[in-house]
Structure 1
Amino acid sequence: MASPFDIDEIYPDDGDQSLRLPRRQVGNSPQGVAVTLLADYTLRTRAALPSAAIVELLAEAGVTTAGARTAISRLARRGVLEGSRLGRRSSYRLSRAAAANLSAGGHWIITSTAAAARWDGCWTIVAFSLPQDLSTQRRALRAQLRWLGYAPLYDGLWISPRELTAPARAQLDQLTHGAVTVFRGRQVPLDSAGHRAPIEAWDIEAINRSYEEFLRRWTPLLPPVASGAVDGAAAVRARTEVMDTFRRFPVLDPQLPVEILPQGWLRRPAQELFAAVYDGLAAPAERHVRAVVARFTDTAQPGIRAHTTADMAAGVRIEASLPERGYGGAAG
């Protein structure tokens, strides 16, 4: 089975070909960290931040100055960021398409790890056949299926315990142009020992180990977060890292039915831990981002606002943007 971490994109493509979000990598890439930082603190307002402030925030996350500037430049070329200049001063903000995409992705992260509805025992099967010369189309289809919560039981046959929604059907139509068939039904058990159960499309043991590792990594941080001991750059780093780690779980465990999972499945404890850390660090992290931006501006920063998991579950609403020129201040 292909590794579930082979998903091609951090969030799904919304169909705008000019927008290309960074590819998922093992570990944090400079572009991925930059997108997370801007999404965590400017998603609602699409506020423009001085490039020098973005470079400073990325430096605190371990990204070199050269790596930060390269990441900003590439994100602008991809259509993720929009740049503006005032004299020698440059600022960047999330593009409208990227903001909408990231808002949908955040909603998916939270809702996909919430308690699942009772399973009806049926599976949705997506079968497709695309010629080898359509490798780009095959890759896009697989990435979209993975994002929709499907996994490959066999090559060209992907499954999910959930029903295919109308938006998902429209996305598949766009990607396949008819070279796909969808069924929904129950598995017919066979007597032979060699038959493969649908749940085996997912590596259950590996998913469980990922949950255990997440809990080991972040549980010790709960007392310091609750007491307010995590502040400044440490709060921003931890909040960015816990998001970059947790957002993998909806792909690994797309609300798989608890009825066929091992007892004591750790989806809920992981979701509760993520919410406690991410929400608990929202205020100190926002204060620090404001303080860093203030070093490079001579105006207030009304557009810097950290959202919570409750905001993500409701769908972060994109407000009217601040002026495109962004904040004034030091040269970027």
Structure 2
Amino acid sequence: MASAFDIEEIYPDDGEHSLRLPRRQAGNSPQGLAVTLLADYTLWTRAALPSAAIVALLTETGVTTAGARTAISRLARRGVLERSRQGRHSSYRLSRAAAANLSAGGNWILTSTTATAWDGCWTIVAFSLPQDLTARRRALRGQLRWLGYAPLYDGLWVSPHDLTPPARAQLEQLAPGAVTVFRGREVALDVAGRRAPVEAWDVDGIGRHYQEFLRRWTPLLPRVRSGQVEGAAAVRARTEVMETFRCFPTLDPQLPVVLLPQGWLRQPARELFAAVYDGLAAPAEEHVRAVVGRFSDTARSGVRAHTTADLLAGVRGDDAGGIHGDQDGPACR
């Protein structure tokens, strides 16, 4: 079974706001960290931050100065960042497409880790593509992963959720004439070797990821609540908890609790994430403002941390620097 951590993009592509976000890598990549930092503190406003301030914040996370500058440059070439100049000084802000994509992605992270009712039916996607169409096969499999599917067999992927219209359109575009979709209940066979649909996921492995997440972050929570995590440490911890938790919607795409082991840790992990992420919002924002203020008095006013409640409501900066609800933004998936 392929690991969900191998998926190339941080967030699923949105058809209306298509752009190439950084590839997922083992560990934290400079580009990924830069995107997370800018999203966490400027998604509301799409504020332009001095490049020197972005570099300074990235170096506090362990990225080298050269690596930070390269990451910013590459993100601008990808269309994730927009560059502006004032004399010899450059500033960067999230592009409108990136802000919309990241807003949808943040909402997706939280809604996808919320338990929902299940009607007992499975959606089955069967496809057949020639072996020589390697790139198309990889793209189709990657998109199916982002849509919450897993391979029960090589060319047969399953999900406990219905196929949404946006997902249907994406599959038609990626593999026209090569995909068939069904939805129905499993007919259990009383035979040895029967494979249940939920076995398309490594349930035990997902459980271990939840356990590791809880082990890593539970000891920090009392210090967060007592205000002992401040400055650069608050920014680093908030960035890391987001970088880690964002993997769970793909690992565990709202798998029906009735099919999972008793005491499934999805909800405790989600609650812990929210407590750490929201609890560090104020001290992290204060530090980011201070760092940005060393390079620009005006840019610091555009720094604003959002919470998990904001992500659920839908936040997206526009060209006027405003914030809008999700009804005007891209569809969540």
1:22-101 equivalences under 5 Å are: 22-101=22-101
Does 1:122 pair with 2:121? yes
SS at match of 2:152: strand
TM-score normalized by structure 1?
0.94
Cα distance in 1 for residues equivalent to 2:17 and 2:269: 34
TM alignment of 1:170-249, pairs within 5 A = 170-249=169-248
Q: What fraction of aligned residue pairs are identical, expressed as a percent? A: 80
- Once residues 243 and 210 of structure 1 are traced to their aligned partners in structure 2, the CA distance between those partners, rounded to angstroms, is 14
2:12 corresponds to: 12
What amino acid is aligned across from residue 167 of structure 2 in structure 1?
A: A
Number of corresponding residues = 322
RMSD: 1.5
**How much has 1:94 moved relative to structure 2?**
0.7
1:154-192 Cα deviation digits (max 9, x unpaired):
112110001111121122222222321110011111222
Structure 1 residue 314 corresponds to structure 2 residue 313: yes
Counterpart Cα distance in 2 of 1:81 and 1:133: 35
Flag as ranges the 4+ runs of structure 1 deviating above 3 A: 15-18, 319-323
Cα displacement (A) at 1:144? 1.2
Contact 1:18–1:78 (8 Å) recurs in 2: no
* Matched-pair contact (CA < 8 Å) for 1:33–1:240: yes
Tell me which moved more, 206-215 or 18-27.
18-27
Preserved CA contact (<8 Å) 2:47 2:299? no
Give the superposition deviation at 1:291: 0.4
Matching residue of 2:136: 137
| Alpha-carbon distance in 2 for matches of 1:255, 1:322 | 34
CA contact (8 A) 2:121 2:186 kept: yes
Secondary structure of the structure 1 residue equivalent to 2:309: helix
Contact 1:113 1:268 in 2 (8 A): yes
> 1:135 Cα deviation (Å)?
2.0
Matched with 1:106 is 106
Amino acid at match of 2:101: N
Unaligned runs of 5+ in 1: 324-332
Q: Where does the alignment leave 5 or more consecutive residues of structure 2 unmatched?
A: 323-333
CA distance in 2, matches of 1:94, 1:139: 28
Indicate if the aligned counterparts of 1:47 and 1:321 stay in contact, CA closer than 8 A.
no
Q: 1:272: Cα distance to partner? A: 0.2
Within a 5 Å distance, the mapping from 1:154-165 to structure 2 comes to 154-165=153-164
Partner Cα separation in structure 2 for residue 255 and residue 197 of structure 1: 17
Q: Secondary structure at the match of 1:270?
A: helix
TM-score, with normalisation over the residues of structure 2?
0.94
Counterpart-to-counterpart distance in 2, 1:125 and 1:95: 36
Change (3 A) 1:74 1:18: farther
* Paired residue type of 2:166: P
The aligned amino acid for 1:67 is G
